[in-house]
């Protein structure tokens, strides 16, 4: 199956492709790589999932929020690259969790995005390097922001 076919088989719905919240591009192709801006928890109805993980949101709500960020990134990839099939593999994610100061489960939360990408591009090509860290705040009060680099075909 292709990445597009694998995504279709998941039964998930993409949010609208996000607009920038400031003076930046959502995606920039440099040579064989696509650099992707920090994306947030954009929902199908164009609102955001908001809240702090460990306070407003539970651990699993945080993980679901990270999956939603992954879906927003997929929407951007489809808009700017035409198809998920034009991505060869995930190079790198920086996963940032808006959470309480004693939070310790950032990797579990960001897995919400990483597991989605592993389903789309496979266990090898869908998984790159990653950092998962805790922020004191994020734009619009979103619980997760993720930036990414992808290798193109």
User: Which residues of the chain form contacts with its own copies (CB under 8 A)?
Assistant: 20-28, 30, 33, 35-38, 52, 91-94, 96, 98-108, 110-111, 114-115, 118, 127-141, 145, 147, 151
**Cβ 64 to its own copies, closest distance in Å?**
15
**Cβ 125 to its own copies, closest distance in Å?**
11
**Cβ 35 to its own copies, closest distance in Å?**
5
Nearer to its own copies, 12 or 118 (CB): 118
CA atoms of 17 and 137, how far apart (whole Å): 23
Nearer to its own copies, 49 or 96 (CB): 96
Task: Take residue 143 and report the two structure tokens written for it.
Answer: 């619980």
Nearer to its own copies, 25 or 153 (CB): 25
Give, in degrees to the nearest 5, the angle at Cα 93 between 50 and 117.
Answer: 85
Q: Are 6 and 119 in contact (CB under 8 A)?
A: yes
**Cβ 52 to its own copies, closest distance in Å?**
8
Nearer to its own copies, 15 or 40 (CB): 40
**Cβ 2 to its own copies, closest distance in Å?**
21
DSSP state of 23: S
Nearer to its own copies, 84 or 146 (CB): 146
How many of the other CB atoms lie within 10 Å of CB of 36? 22
**CA nearest neighbour of 150 among 64, 31, 40, 42:** 31
The number of C-alpha atoms within 13 Å of 100 and in the hemisphere containing its C-beta is: 9
């Amino acid at each position: 199956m292709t990445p597009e076919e694998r995504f279709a088989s998941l039964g998930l719905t993409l949010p609208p492709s996000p607009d920038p919240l400031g003076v930046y591009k959502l995606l920039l192709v440099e040579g064989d790589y696509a650099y992707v801006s920090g994306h947030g928890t954009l929902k199908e109805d164009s609102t955001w999932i908001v809240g702090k993980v460990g306070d407003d949101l539970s651990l699993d709500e945080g993980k679901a929020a990270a999956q939603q960020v992954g879906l927003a990134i997929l929407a951007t990839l489809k808009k700017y690259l035409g198809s998920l099939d034009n991505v060869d593999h995930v190079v790198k994610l920086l996963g940032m969790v808006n959470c309480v100061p004693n939070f310790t489960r950032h990797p579990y939360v960001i897995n919400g995005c990483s597991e989605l990408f592993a389903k789309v591009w496979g266990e090898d090509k869908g998984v790159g390097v990653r950092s998962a860290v805790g922020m004191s705040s994020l734009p619009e009060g979103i619980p997760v922001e993720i930036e990414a680099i992808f290798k193109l075909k």
